[in-house]
Structure 1
Amino acid sequence: MMENPKNEYSLAIVGAGPRGTSVVERFADLALKLTPKGSRLNIVVFDPYRPGSGHVWNPRQSENFWMNTPASFPTVAPERATDEPGLSFRQFVQLKGDGRQLSEDHARTIERIDAGTYPSRAIYGEYLEHVFDRSCEVLREHDSFSIQHVAAEVLALRTQGNGYQLEYQAAAHGSEVQHLPVDAVVLALGHQSAELNPWQKQLQEAATNSGATYLPPNIPADLDFNKFVGGQPALIRGLGLNFFDCMAELTLGRGGIFREVGAEPGQRLEYVGSGREPELIVASRRGTPYWGKPVVDQFIPDEIQLRFLDVQDLIGHLAEIRATNSNATLEFSRHIWPKLHRDVLFAYYRQCVQISGAPAGSTAEEFVDQLEAILVAEHREGSQVWLGELRKFISQFPEIQWLDVPKLARPFEEIGFASNEDYQLAVQDYLASNARHSSAGLDDPLSCAIMTMNAGRMLVKELIVAGAIDEQSRIEEIQAHFEPLVEGLASGPPLERIEQLLALSRAGIVTFIGPEPEFAFDEVSGQFTASSPWVDAEVHTAKTMCEAMMPSNRVLQNDTTLIRQLLKDHVGRAHTWRNSEGESLPGSGFDVVGEPYRLVNSEALAHRGIFVMGLQLSSAQWGTAIAAQAGDLNNPAARTLKDATHVANEVARLAGFLVGEGLPAERH
């Protein structure tokens, strides 16, 4: 019996950035496999911005805003084999835009992109719009589909009979609120604005009262860079990817030039200023920026292999435990980190001997055999005894340093600096070391260790999706400790940005504050203040302060009209979890169940026809902002494509087009 007794089924997709575009492309792929039989699926896509690129990926944004994955990695569609609607970004570049009319600047840019290039977000926006447009063409040519884009903001979503009703307002000023009944909804909302935390609110209020300028967390393309006054100091909190966007826009974007002066890593560039740059006084908790990416052509090169961390082994082990305890889960510190830690150290020391030769008194083969014997030795589950044994083994060879992996996230931990000058030189040495290591790519032991950890992160993401990891372990171990470690090392900028930062530091345009910075507002002088307890220097002051970070991705903190309405009217709820003391604590994302992920209401009932994609799945997934990896659709790194496929197949099943696992209904 068909799920849909009528001949038409309607779907609203709210949000037309990368996740919404993936869903549209999956429907186009289905359309190519279906023979029209009288049923019809009407799709309405809501987004106040241009569909495809959406808000974040506008092709007209500054070319100074770069992606932090190489061109070989990201995609919103499976790679095209014949005439499918989708294609990866790599294919889009190889096909020179696949026939799309590009601006003259973008046409020149695409000629210079290769597999290892870190492209601008603007050119990726061109790719997203192409996939959306091509997918819409396929759907419009098929008698069983229709699709339209409505340039409007959805304000509310409510249940209505067996379906739903949307309230929306067109982007044009003064437009009336309109209503649309639909059978199903996909929430692909992407980045949302959020309330400031109490400390940020206090800084903002103090600045407003004193005529100072406070720039809260924001998407870089939305930041008003005119607020930064040339020649005047500006405090920037955060040294992640948003910082590098700000750095580039406030230097290159103001006419500055990075001049090539040498070939040695860490000494390549010199900055020639325009005189219009502000003085950037910058800080992060660790005191250093994210580590610059190794120079390789792939996000995770094929040469990087995990020997000890195996998802299938862990899931099989968990199944055995659940035979006697159905609620059993894995703990990161006990079941996962000891295995991944082994992989990281094995990759590091094996590469050490391959590049530098075996330490005295040993051949390379003997060293690797002894290393492996220590790492594979059987210990009780969760034991860290092997780590002590490995440390003793390495200590026999003074020419090989011990790699303290957790300390990589805190390079200046408990180190004091007698002056500001001492600290600036220390950070410059750190950045130059980053340049030397990362420029060597796969030949560098530390780069191999970092890329191995990143490969492990992809598997940890898959274990979280599978519900295999204890939630308290996820919150208190993965997100509190492992995430800052792996993000700071593996999610940094292209190495070119580190070279640029070094040049700016040497030119005096950028000054580093120090670890564990303390920010405040001096109401007497009407200025922001910043200092570090680990650097003996004068307090830094400025009339301008910028939070170089994205708005918080927590549904209870998001302040958009739609998310607030969903929570207030009990259409959806935030995920909650219980800690070991039995306390119920809010999670970051919506409460969802199943795959595809259905929204759960306040009565713990899942909606039949509301599906969630992307960032608001942060309680069911980890790392939801990372794009899918091009290539194998079954790769865990292609998770967002799987999510889109599940949604499209389920909606098509509800509409009567498919049965079972995505099989055309007319064939049964």
Structure 2
Amino acid sequence: MNATHPAPDTASVVIVGAGPRGTGFLERLAANLPELYGDRPLEVHLVDPYPPGGGRIWRAGQSPLLWMNSMAEDVTMFTDETVELAGPVRPGPTLAEWAGLDGQTFPGRRTQGAYLRWVYERAVRALGPAVTVREHRTRVLRVGGPREGRQRVWLEGRAEPLTADLVVLALGHLDAEPDDEQRELTAFAARHGLVHLPPAFTADCDLSALAPGEPVIVRGFGLAFIDLMVLLTEGRGGRHDDSGTYHPSGREPVLYVGSRRGVPYHSKIGYGWQGERPPLPRFFGPAAVGKLLGSAAPPDFRRDVWPLIAKELGFAHYHRLFTAHPGRTAMAWSDFEEKYAAAGPGGPESAALVAAAVPDPADRLDLEALDHPLDGVRYPSGDALQEGLRAYIGQDLARRHDPEHSADLAVFLGLLSAYGQLPGLGDPGPWWHGFFSYLASGPPGPRLRQLLALSEAGVVRFLGADLVVECDEDAGEFRAGGASVPGEWTRARALVEARLPEPSLERTRSPLLRALHRDGAAATGTGLLRVDPGDGRVLDRAGRPHPRRFALGPHTTARAAGAFTRPRTGGPAFRQNDASARAALTLLRDLARHPVGA
């Protein structure tokens, strides 16, 4: 474990990050090794402060109250025949099959961490006797070396660098330094003795400063809020009973939560797929992406890409409605499909067709209304807002667990399909990722039922949409209000930003990424590391791929739809891992045949 240099005739790879993405790359490396590299000796270094497999997010050392946001049957680390890849398919068990779980349950994160550790150990065994794997429980500080020569990888706490023929960055989600707004809020809190928790991983936050019974303003209504909610209620001794009632411990603060939309992410869908699947992709597939890439000007996401995605989602929705619920339509599917294909994306012709073919407006897909559920909705008081949002959440739960609304599941499949096409177009920006998460990556239904119980118990209070947080210097307090109850403000001595830090190569707390950026690695305007969409090689500011540096995961422009892949959905992350592994092994094979000096 302590060696820093391989033997002179041994090729060497450094994988930075040994969580799910690093483990996935290792699995593809093992799968492709016999074909592309044979039984030549190879040394693989995995560098991560956290144990391999689970990494930071899925480590064993976290609260057992924290769940996955996916059902056990919807999580796999293994390829199947639906994945388009050049390497061999190596099937394996889903999380449910491996752990012997009911597929419809939402496992704890510790259970997922154990599954990932098993996958990692299986991948290491599959590498064979010619491959030596060395683990380093530390961080990488920087990578140097010539483009055409061996790379030098400096580790925290070690004087001598590792030397490697190539480096793979699989860093996962990263911490970031606060932006200007967060620094101002922190300074305000320090001046007045307040509590301000900036964007961070909720499971890693010290929540002890949030006092029992005291109001806490929470900005953010996504998955980070759900973790916060659990840790500050059940985590402080409260209890949910079987009747749906919450019994407080008396140690909970009062959470006043709001966001841009003012509502939580949509519940996970609580039923499986039955019958014919929509034939996806249809309007946003490789041909459409190729046309966009061939245009004279770089495509703009909202102008050029989003209309095609919206048409794809509409196709998935109506295909399901016509084929599974034909009694709620007024036209033959073949006629609708022909006219829908001919209509312009999102134009009046398409709207008129849908109005004629789908009598009930509730059966029509309105993406704008979905994205802004409280637009124009005003409540006369805060108490009326509480009642209104409890009704909204209850209706969402009912719909997402009712197969009569299975067109929602078809839209989910459409979102996955669209996400799989995007890496070739570069980073679509934060709006798309937020919209996708809101519709497709929400919390388990039981969590929203707990949220309703906490609202009834007065432990959670809703602030509504278009949340504004201000610093009141005279009063020495934070105050928050929104559009849902005009003129009503909530005051508190604590503010929590319930969201992950935005990716930023300039503000990241990863010294490795900061150094790469200083040395010429390209970044998008939204702070992501630019990579070649084909094989994940890191691009410089001139657009040149680095021959010996690869990057995969959420800090790159080729990030995938979620942390894990649902079985039999094509798995874009698997495709990316496979392409990168094959490119890496091809490089190593060519270097073995034609050595190049360091």
Give SS of 2:42's match: strand
Give SS of 2:72's match: coil
Question: What residue number does 1:605 align with?
Answer: 544
Identity across matched positions, percent = 26
1:135 maps to 2:93: no
Question: What residue number does 1:650 align with?
Answer: 583
1:294 maps to 2:282: no
C-alpha deviation, 1:426, in angstroms:
0.3
C-alpha deviation, 1:380, in angstroms:
5.4
Question: What residue number does 2:27 align with?
Answer: 25
C-alpha deviation, 1:368, in angstroms:
4.5
Question: What residue number does 1:306 align with?
Answer: 278
Question: What residue number does 1:282 align with?
Answer: 257
Q: How many residues align?
A: 577
On the 8 A contact 1:153/1:169 being kept in 2, the answer is: yes
Question: What residue number does 2:522 align with?
Answer: 573
C-alpha deviation, 1:455, in angstroms:
1.3
Question: What residue number does 2:18 align with?
Answer: 16
What do the CA deviations read for 1:215-235 (whole angstroms, capped 9, x no partner)?
111112201121221111111
Question: What residue number does 1:389 align with?
Answer: 352
Question: What residue number does 1:186 align with?
Answer: 168
On the 8 A contact 2:73/2:96 being kept in 1, the answer is: no
Question: What residue number does 2:185 align with?
Answer: 203
The partner residue of 1:337 within 305, 310, 329 is: 310
Moved more, 222-231 or 530-539: 530-539
C-alpha deviation, 1:641, in angstroms:
1.7
On the 8 A contact 1:345/1:449 being kept in 2, the answer is: yes
C-alpha deviation, 1:506, in angstroms:
0.8
For 2:312 and 2:138, the matched residues in 1 are separated by: 49
Give SS of 2:52's match: coil
For 1:539 and 1:258, the matched residues in 2 are separated by: 30
On the 8 A contact 1:394/1:402 being kept in 2, the answer is: no
Question: What residue number does 2:247 align with?
Answer: 272
1:551 maps to 2:501: yes
Question: What residue number does 1:51 align with?
Answer: 52
- Equivalent residue letter for 1:115: G
C-alpha deviation, 1:201, in angstroms:
1.5
Q: Relative to 1, partners in 2 of residues 1:653 and 1:547: Cα closer, same or farther, differing over 3 Å?
A: same
Question: What residue number does 1:498 align with?
Answer: 448
What do the CA deviations read for 1:467-503 (whole angstroms, capped 9, x no partner)?
4xxx69x44xxx53x5544432221101001111111
What do the CA deviations read for 1:11-68 (whole angstroms, capped 9, x no partner)?
111111111111222233345779965x311111111111111111112211222221
For 1:399 and 1:191, the matched residues in 2 are separated by: 40
The partner residue of 1:94 within 97, 112, 121 is: 97
C-alpha deviation, 1:388, in angstroms:
3.3
In the TM superposition, 1:68-87 aligns within 5 A as 68-78=69-79
On the 8 A contact 2:560/2:572 being kept in 1, the answer is: no
Question: What residue number does 1:240 align with?
Answer: 222
Q: Relative to 1, partners in 2 of residues 1:350 and 1:645: Cα closer, same or farther, differing over 3 Å?
A: closer
Question: What residue number does 1:664 align with?
Answer: none
In the TM superposition, 1:391-430 aligns within 5 A as 392-393=355-356, 404-430=366-392
1:167 maps to 2:154: yes
C-alpha deviation, 1:316, in angstroms:
3.9
Give SS of 1:152's match: coil
Q: Relative to 1, partners in 2 of residues 1:429 and 1:348: Cα closer, same or farther, differing over 3 Å?
A: farther
For 2:188 and 2:233, the matched residues in 1 are separated by: 28
Give SS of 2:555's match: helix
Question: What residue number does 2:242 align with?
Answer: 260
On the 8 A contact 1:465/1:621 being kept in 2, the answer is: yes
C-alpha deviation, 1:522, in angstroms:
2.0
Q: Relative to 1, partners in 2 of residues 1:320 and 1:422: Cα closer, same or farther, differing over 3 Å?
A: closer
For 1:14 and 1:399, the matched residues in 2 are separated by: 50
C-alpha deviation, 1:332, in angstroms:
2.5
Q: Relative to 1, partners in 2 of residues 1:294 and 1:567: Cα closer, same or farther, differing over 3 Å?
A: same
For 1:418 and 1:258, the matched residues in 2 are separated by: 31
Question: What residue number does 2:407 align with?
Answer: 449
- Equivalent residue letter for 2:278: L
For 1:88 and 1:542, the matched residues in 2 are separated by: 50
For 2:393 and 2:207, the matched residues in 1 are separated by: 26
Q: Relative to 1, partners in 2 of residues 1:310 and 1:180: Cα closer, same or farther, differing over 3 Å?
A: same
On the 8 A contact 1:234/1:278 being kept in 2, the answer is: yes
In the TM superposition, 1:619-638 aligns within 5 A as 619-621=557-559, 623=561, 625-631=562-568, 635-636=569-570, 638=571
In the TM superposition, 1:526-545 aligns within 5 A as 526-536=476-486, 538-545=488-495
For 1:59 and 1:122, the matched residues in 2 are separated by: 5
What do the CA deviations read for 1:585-644 (whole angstroms, capped 9, x no partner)?
x24321222522111234543211101111122x24553x4323334xxx53x1222222
For 2:380 and 2:346, the matched residues in 1 are separated by: 41
- Equivalent residue letter for 1:433: Q
For 1:71 and 1:116, the matched residues in 2 are separated by: 6
What do the CA deviations read for 1:633-664 (whole angstroms, capped 9, x no partner)?
xx53x12222222222222222228999xxxx
C-alpha deviation, 1:336, in angstroms:
3.8
Structure 1 unaligned spans of 5+: 97-110, 171-175, 262-268, 359-363, 576-585, 661-668
On the 8 A contact 2:73/2:97 being kept in 1, the answer is: no
Question: What residue number does 1:115 align with?
Answer: 103
- Equivalent residue letter for 2:310: W
Give SS of 1:593's match: coil
Give SS of 2:589's match: coil
On the 8 A contact 2:174/2:508 being kept in 1, the answer is: yes
Moved more, 516-525 or 118-127: 516-525
C-alpha deviation, 1:310, in angstroms:
1.2
Q: Relative to 1, partners in 2 of residues 1:164 and 1:115: Cα closer, same or farther, differing over 3 Å?
A: same
For 2:204 and 2:306, the matched residues in 1 are separated by: 39
The partner residue of 1:215 within 197, 222, 226 is: 197
For 1:529 and 1:256, the matched residues in 2 are separated by: 27
For 2:29 and 2:287, the matched residues in 1 are separated by: 34
For 1:603 and 1:374, the matched residues in 2 are separated by: 47
For 2:154 and 2:201, the matched residues in 1 are separated by: 26
Give SS of 1:487's match: helix
Question: What residue number does 1:100 align with?
Answer: none
Question: What residue number does 2:3 align with?
Answer: none
Higher relative contact order (CA 8 A, sep 6+): 2
Question: What residue number does 1:432 align with?
Answer: 394
Question: What residue number does 1:99 align with?
Answer: none
C-alpha deviation, 1:329, in angstroms:
6.3
Q: Relative to 1, partners in 2 of residues 1:408 and 1:130: Cα closer, same or farther, differing over 3 Å?
A: same
- Equivalent residue letter for 1:127: Y
For 1:29 and 1:657, the matched residues in 2 are separated by: 19
For 2:413 and 2:533, the matched residues in 1 are separated by: 26
C-alpha deviation, 1:119, in angstroms:
1.3
On the 8 A contact 1:304/1:455 being kept in 2, the answer is: no
C-alpha deviation, 1:349, in angstroms:
6.6
For 1:648 and 1:322, the matched residues in 2 are separated by: 25
Q: Relative to 1, partners in 2 of residues 1:32 and 1:201: Cα closer, same or farther, differing over 3 Å?
A: same
On the 8 A contact 1:169/1:178 being kept in 2, the answer is: no
- Equivalent residue letter for 2:523: A
- Equivalent residue letter for 2:55: G
Give SS of 2:143's match: strand
The two structures have a TM-score, normalised by structure 2, of: 0.87
The two structures have a TM-score, normalised by structure 1, of: 0.79
